[in-house]
């Protein structure tokens, strides 16, 4: 298994996030990727490579130019307001709710942050843009490796990506790595690409990016949005729109679900991907389905991730795997590498 590793990921390290009415230390921390790296090295599971470098124009294949411009300049704008802001992260405090305009870019910095954010749990820091960009390069590199004949490749970076939409951040995510990988595979000539999201939290950003397209099939197994973040997408009746009608599959499960129910949903998702005729698969590999995860509610065990890896390998498609969530830090390395080793 080839792994592309973002060795600069710790440059993004939020201080606090808003959680259940108070500012708390961030759940999304550098130790997440560090634990996966240590376990990969311990098991000697293939080469560990720096990502290739890609033109930022590829990011604009998925994300809007004005959003990318905001991310690239946000920290400098924050410091220009007050030099003391260097010791404070950026969190939004105002949002354009229904009926308010989003087409006009405000001059006020706080208003711009709220225009491009959908929650108060995703601190933007001095290193956020550089780290997210490098993470995108990891995912694009993994896609390039698969295009070059590798059966699979893994993008190891953080923060995750699947909650980021074409023009918004949230859920710890700034750039959508899985969507970028899928788009890159498609741009290289693959007419049908599937994205399978196995994170506990619905990949709202990925769904939104491809919802009206027939060339990228999106399937997600996740906690029921009636009770689980991100709440406002992920229902079973969301099946695509326009040309994309029928190419979106959501399989929400109740909190407390174990591997039996989860693996049954996986079979439904993989059967749909097979019917779609996918030529390559991108996996949003969230490991917050683990029983010990502090902000999730499924009950998978570490050995279940071996079974997941075996099942993904049997699909027989060139596969890009991208690290998403997983906040039980001590178990994350074992769980992630169980998937990769069993696949390999």
pLDDT of residue 259: 98
Six token digits for residue 307: 């079974």
Q: What is the mean pLDDT of residues 246-261?
A: 98
Number of domains into which the chain is organized:
1
Average pLDDT, rounded, for the chain? 97
pLDDT of residue 21: 83
Which residue numbers are catalytic?
A: 163
Please state the length of the chain.
344
- Say if residues 75 and 124 touch (Cβ distance below 8 Å): yes
pLDDT of residue 20: 81
- Say if residues 266 and 185 touch (Cβ distance below 8 Å): no
The CA distance from 79 to 102, in Å, is 24
CATH number reported for the structural domain that contains residue 192 in this entry? 3.40.800.20
Residue 326: which domain range? Answer: 2-343
Residues 6 or more apart whose CB falls under 8 angstroms from that of 139 comprise 4, 155, 157, 161, 177, 178, 180, 181, 320, 322
Six token digits for residue 81: 């307001």
Nearest Cα to 205, choosing from 171, 241, 239?
Answer: 171
- What share of the chain in percent tops pLDDT 70? 100
Six token digits for residue 280: 């390559």
Confidence of residue 301 (pLDDT cuts 50, 70, 90): very high
Confidence of residue 93 (pLDDT cuts 50, 70, 90): very high
Express each pLDDT in 37-62 by its tens digit: 999 999 999 999 999 999 999 999 99
DSSP state of 192: -
pLDDT of residue 340: 98
The CA distance from 93 to 112, in Å, is 10
56 cis-preceded (ω within 30 degrees of 0): no
Write the burial class of residue 225 (CB in 10 Å: 0-12 exposed, 13-18 middle, 19+ buried). buried
Express each pLDDT in 211-241 by its tens digit: 999 999 999 999 999 999 999 999 999 999 9
- Say if residues 327 and 28 touch (Cβ distance below 8 Å): yes
Express each pLDDT in 258-290 by its tens digit: 999 999 999 999 999 999 999 999 999 999 999
- Say if residues 115 and 96 touch (Cβ distance below 8 Å): yes
Q: What is the mean pLDDT of residues 189-197?
A: 98
Residue with tokens 């991100």: 230
């Amino acid at each position: 298994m080839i792994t592309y590793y973002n060795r600069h990921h710790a440059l993004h390290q939020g201080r606090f996030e808003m959680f259940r009415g108070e500012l708390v230390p961030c759940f999304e921390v550098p130790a997440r990727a560090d634990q996966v790296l240590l376990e990969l090295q311990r098991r000697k599971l293939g080469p560990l490579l720096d990502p290739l470098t890609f033109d930022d124009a590829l990011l604009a294949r998925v994300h809007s130019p004005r959003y990318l411009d905001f991310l690239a300049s946000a920290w400098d704008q924050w410091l220009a307001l007050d030099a003391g802001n260097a010791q404070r992260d950026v969190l939004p405090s105002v949002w354009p709710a229904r009926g308010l305009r989003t087409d006009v870019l405000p001059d006020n910095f706080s208003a711009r942050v709220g225009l491009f954010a959908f929650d108060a749990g995703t601190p933007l820091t001095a290193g956020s843009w550089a780290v997210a960009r490098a993470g995108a390069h990891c995912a694009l590199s993994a896609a390039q490796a698969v295009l070059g004949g590798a059966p699979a490749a893994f993008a190891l970076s953080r923060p995750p990506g699947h909650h980021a939409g074409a023009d918004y951040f949230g859920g710890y995510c700034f750039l959508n790595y899985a969507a970028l990988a899928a788009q890159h595979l498609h741009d290289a000539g693959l007419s049908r690409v599937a994205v399978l999201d196995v994170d506990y939290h619905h990949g709202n950003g990925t769904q939104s990016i491809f919802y009206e397209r027939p060339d990228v099939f999106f399937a997600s197994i996740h906690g029921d949005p009636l009770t689980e973040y991100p709440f406002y997408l992920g229902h079973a009746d969301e099946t695509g729109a326009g040309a994309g009608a029928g190419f979106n599959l959501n399989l929400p499960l109740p909190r407390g679900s174990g591997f039996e129910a989860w693996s049954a949903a996986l079979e439904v998702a993989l059967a749909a991907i097979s019917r779609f005729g996918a030529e390559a698969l991108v996996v949003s590999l969230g490991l917050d389905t683990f029983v010990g995860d502090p902000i999730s509610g499924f009950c998978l065990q570490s050995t279940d991730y071996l079974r997941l890896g075996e099942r993904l390998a049997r699909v027989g498609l060139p596969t890009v795997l991208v690290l998403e969530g997983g906040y039980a830090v001590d178990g994350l390395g074992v769980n992630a590498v169980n998937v990769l080793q069993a696949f390999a």
